[in-house]
Amino acid sequence: MCGIVGYVGRRNARDVIIHGLEILEYRGYDSAGLAITEGGRISVVKKTGYVARLAKATERMGGGCGIGHTRWATHGAPSEINCHPHTAGKFTVVHNGIIENFAVIKRRLESKGRKFLSETDTEVAACLMDDLYKGDPTEALAAAMKKLKGAFAFAVLCADCPGEIFLMKRHSPLVVGLGDGECFAASDCSAFCGYTDTAVFMKDGEIGVMGEGVFTLYDGNLVKKTVRTEKIGGGAPCGQPAEDFMKKEIFETPAALRDTVNAVFGDDSLKKRIIDIFSKNDKVVMTGCGTAYNACLMGKSLFERVLRVPVEAEFASEFRYKNPIVDDKTVVVAVSQSGETADTLAAVRLAKSLGADVVALTNAGRSAITREADLTLLTAAGPERAVAATKSYSAQAAAFLCVATVLSYDMKTVEKIREEICCLPSLASKALASAGEVKALAALYGKKRSVFFIGRGPDYALAVESSLKLKEVSYVHSEGFAAGELKHGTLALIDRDALVIAIVTQRHTAEKTLSALYEVKARGGKIMIVTPFDDLIAENRFDAVIKTPPSSGLTAPVTAMIPLQLFAYYMSKERGINPDKPRNLAKSVTVE
Ligand code: AGP
């Protein structure tokens, strides 16, 4: 994880770096630092906490060349000492990734008399570069790359080369932006797309050198490579919303659904490629992490229902180590909002090595996962900055539903489902209208210590996702599970302090789920129902009700997620937590 930024040019490097770090803060926000070269001297400033603290502390800095970092701690606590940049001799370094053999290298360097200030693997890498330095920084980086194991993207200043930034990459993302007399580097091009629309996506094993408007690229043996540029979407990224990104993004769900549905249904060549890739395979596996995995659970449920084909859903973090039963007759659908989650990327690479076809379902068109996939399906949800995935999850669920209809032979049913899918944006808008009631419920239940979510079929997938959402932004203990499983153990946890929320969008299992809920009430727990069914609400036996817009059993789960995301959001606010930056988390998990 972590975000890195570099700049060389005529602008104030500090301003460009702070701007980039603010955008990359979704990658980690426990501390931030920068290093600027001015008058041949490198000045380093580090601060714990958000980038805003670093911005304040560096207001007066000048200089046209520098590097910056926003951190999600892997090695060592989030302290100022462990914060990047790290300096060893002539080298000042920022890093995203994990050096797996740092302990061995550290011992070797210590035996040569080297001293370390921090607990980080990054300082060890900086020290290794300095140890290998014989007057040419690129040679030191190339030699260091041969010794380093693990994932990394480095931006490096060398005291002997003011006005230059040295770059090196393996597995972690690193993009260079080329402007008029200036160069940018960042973990993600969103950090500099307000300045230039020309980018170079560095590949694993490459080393780069940035000067004022000059970028040189080498392979790991320092043989010069041709620099291939790509056009990226320019323009300034979205500013801070009036309230929180999480709320703003939940309210953007109707547009995310509309654009995602149009992207699939409006593209005949994409539909053909979807049919080609799925029809030549016998088996479907869906994989992802966190919310993306929960979207796979929803995708599995929707695919099995529409297509009557079995689908496996696997955590990418498990898939990569389980010797998966995957071959050249398997299609693996890798789901990832960011397109750069390390476990999902590793699962994709493993699936490819076993001969499988890979379909990437992602919100990031130029991400690492799309570069490995045979086919990319884009969720057109737009940028998602809050750590909690919201509109991207809804867009993933809608995309699964669209793909299922594209693949279905049952033309009569398909026509009906397509009509329902096209209503998703307006259903989502109706679901958003419940925000006021949901806020009031969060005020009522804000002090609960445990919240359980239950459901069956696709509602089980929603229960798991609702629970994850609540945990990550409100820190309330929560579990999501299949409604019928409650009585097989978890019921022992139910007392007067528990809140159990039943999600009921499926008519055929409604009564069964309610039985589980009444078992909770009988034991003193509070019960809430989230449902589109008026007759169930009329039973009037619930402590709280969230009514969702009525629609078919296929589309109702997609829109029912919206009030549940709002519930997590308002619980977060109720408990005085910043929902956009919950503790210990980062938006993009690019390490194992
Ligand atoms: C979602 O709210 C979480 N922040 C997290 O579980 C996330 O979904 C997971 O890390 C996967 O990210 P990705 O979709 O970018 O691959």
pTM of the model: 0.89
Of 324, 419, 294, 468, nearest to 302 by C-alpha is: 294
- Structure tokens given for 164: 């230059």
Number of CB atoms found within 10 A of residue 212's CB: 15
User: Over the range 561-584, which residues count as b (16 or more CB within 10 Å of their CB) and which as e?
Assistant: bbbbbbbbbbbbbbeebbbbbbee
User: What's the pLDDT score for residue 237?
Assistant: 52
Q: What is the pLDDT of residues 154-172, one digit of tens each?
A: 999 999 999 999 999 998 8
| Closest-lying ligand 1 atom to the alpha carbon of residue 337 | 14
Number of CB atoms found within 10 A of residue 20's CB: 30
Strands 357-362 and 375-378, by their bridges, are parallel
CA 415 – CA 259 distance, rounded (Å) = 19
Nearest protein Cα to ligand 1, atom 9: 290
Q: Which residue has the tokens 């299949």?
A: 482
| Closest-lying ligand 1 atom to the alpha carbon of residue 469 | 2
Contact 286, 296 (CB under 8 A): yes
How many helical (H) and strand (E) elements, i.e. helices and strands, does the chain have?
A: 20, 25
Distance 229 CA to ligand 1 centre (A): 29
CA 428 – CA 562 distance, rounded (Å) = 7
Nearest protein Cα to ligand 1, atom 6: 290
- Structure tokens given for 416: 């009906």
User: What's the pLDDT score for residue 367?
Assistant: 87
Distance 61 CA to ligand 1 centre (A): 36
- 2 classed as catalytic: yes
What are residue 246's phi and psi, to 5 degrees? -60, -45
For the chain, report the end-to-end CA distance as a whole number of angstroms: 9
User: What's the pLDDT score for residue 575?
Assistant: 97
The helix (H) or strand (E) run that includes residue 332 is strand 330-336
CA 546 – CA 440 distance, rounded (Å) = 11
Q: Which residue has the tokens 């931006």?
A: 155
- Give 362: exposed, middle or buried? Use CB within 10 Å, 0-12, 13-18, 19+: buried
CA 439 – CA 442 distance, rounded (Å) = 5
User: What's the pLDDT score for residue 589?
Assistant: 85
Strands 207-210 and 150-158, by their bridges, are unpaired
CA 335 – CA 294 distance, rounded (Å) = 10
Of 250, 247, 197, nearest to 561 by C-alpha is: 250
- Structure tokens given for 331: 């299609």
Q: What is the pLDDT of residues 104-125, one digit of tens each?
A: 999 999 999 999 999 999 999 9
Determine the residue of 286, 289, 565 to mutate for testing ligand 1's pocket, defined as the one with the most ligand atoms within 8 A of the Cβ atom: 289
- 587 classed as catalytic: yes
Pocket lining for ligand 1, CB < 6 angstroms: 288-292, 336-338, 341, 344, 387-389, 472, 588-589
* pLDDT digits (tens), the chain, 592 positions: 689 999 999 999 999 999 999 999 888 888 999 999 998 899 999 999 999 999 999 999 999 999 999 998 877 888 889 999 999 999 999 999 989 999 999 999 999 999 999 999 999 999 999 999 999 999 999 999 999 999 899 999 999 999 999 999 998 899 999 999 999 999 999 899 999 999 999 999 999 999 998 999 999 999 999 999 999 875 545 566 778 999 999 999 999 999 999 999 999 999 999 999 999 999 999 999 999 999 999 999 999 999 999 999 999 999 989 999 999 999 999 999 999 899 999 999 999 999 999 999 999 988 889 999 999 999 999 989 999 999 999 999 999 999 999 999 878 788 899 999 999 999 999 999 999 999 999 999 999 999 999 999 999 999 999 999 999 999 999 999 999 999 999 899 998 889 999 999 999 999 999 999 999 999 999 999 999 999 999 987 899 999 999 999 999 999 999 999 999 999 999 999 999 999 999 888 877 7
| Closest-lying ligand 1 atom to the alpha carbon of residue 588 | 15
Distance 292 CA to ligand 1 centre (A): 6
Nearest protein Cα to ligand 1, atom 4: 388
Contact 308, 332 (CB under 8 A): no
Nearest protein Cα to ligand 1, atom 8: 291
The sign one gets for the Cα dihedral 502, 503, 507, 508 is negative
